[in-house]
Amino acid sequence: MSSLLLPSTKSVQQRALDLLALAGIRLDREDSKGDRNVSLKGIRWPSTAAFAHQSRIPGLVASGQYTLGLVGLDSVRESGADVKICADLLFNRSTWEKARVVLVTGEDGLTDASSVPNGAEVLTEYPFLTRSFFRKLGRKVRVISSRGSIESEVPLPYPFGVCLTETGEGLRANRLRVIGTLMETSTVLIANRQECEYAQFQKDVLMFKTILLGVIAAREKVMLVANVPQDNLSAVLAVLPALTSPTVAPLANERYVSVSAVVPRSQLNDLQEQLLDCRAEGLIVTPLTSLIQSFCD
């Protein structure tokens, strides 16, 4: 039986559940015992899910207690767990952007991490990453572990802190300055390395990540369909971007063809104007729930 481990932290958990829902996958809690063994519906594999704190997910997957996990790359690196990273799912607690693990100090403090003095106290949510970061800089600092609230304790009582930031709003509100970036991070799909030695497991992981990445790829795309006069087809094809090439289909009125293409949502308004300039008619825009070209190796 395959089991997917999901983050128990509510903000990240909800975004993971939203992604699964867009992929047509839902959790059936009716016959489950708490959050330990929840059936997954709408997909053959994986068949069950469970929940754990982000910091524990890499180790639980590495040990083989669970075969798959959705977890922040920062948690994987901090744990040191030997797992296979199968896919970058590109989301964090509140955004679809990369977050950063950063070194901060007061806005009137130092401007560069290499200037942090030896012996300085650094409050951090990431002790392992912090020690590694300063070791590479050749600095010896006193690392103090914290579960959170870094922004409120820097620069007093601690002169430096290491924390996760997505939008930077919390740092600005607390008048903090970023003086170093330890890493960029987003949610990743991880798998147990021993299980990855089996061909069937590899095939199942490939299908699962292809489904998830298909949902992510569709976020910024729409399907644009228009009826185009035959005489203007070349002009329309010249302005339409598509994955390979737009689809052209005959219509009952032989003087027209139907042209459809997957286009970036950000270019939609400009493209509609250009199509209308080319005498296109009956423009239809359809949101996409998934966009899969082929298996995502």
- Contact (Cβ atoms closer than 8 angstroms) between residue 291 and residue 218: yes
Task: Report the pLDDT value the prediction gives residue 244, as an integer from 0 to 100.
Answer: 67
Cβ count near 64 (within 10 Å)? 11
- HEC states along 85-115? EEEECCCCCCCCCCEEEEEEEECCCCCCHHH
Per residue in 125-167, pLDDT (tens digit) is 999 999 999 999 999 999 999 987 899 999 999 999 999 999 9
| pLDDT tens figures, 194-234 | 999 999 999 999 999 999 999 999 999 999 999 999 999 99
The percent of residues in the chain predicted with pLDDT above 90, rounded, is 86
Same domain, 68 and 142: no
Q: Is residue 292 part of a domain?
A: no
Residue 116 lies in a domain: yes
Domain count within the chain: 3
pTM of the complete model beyond 0.75:
yes
**75, pLDDT greater than 90:** yes
The total number of residues shown for the chain amounts to 297
Residue that is last in its domain, among 194, 217, 240: 217
CA angle 15, 17, 20 (to 5 degrees): 110
User: Strands 48-52, 3-7: parallel, antiparallel or unpaired by DSSP?
Assistant: parallel
Domain assignment of residue 208, given as a range = 3-95+186-217
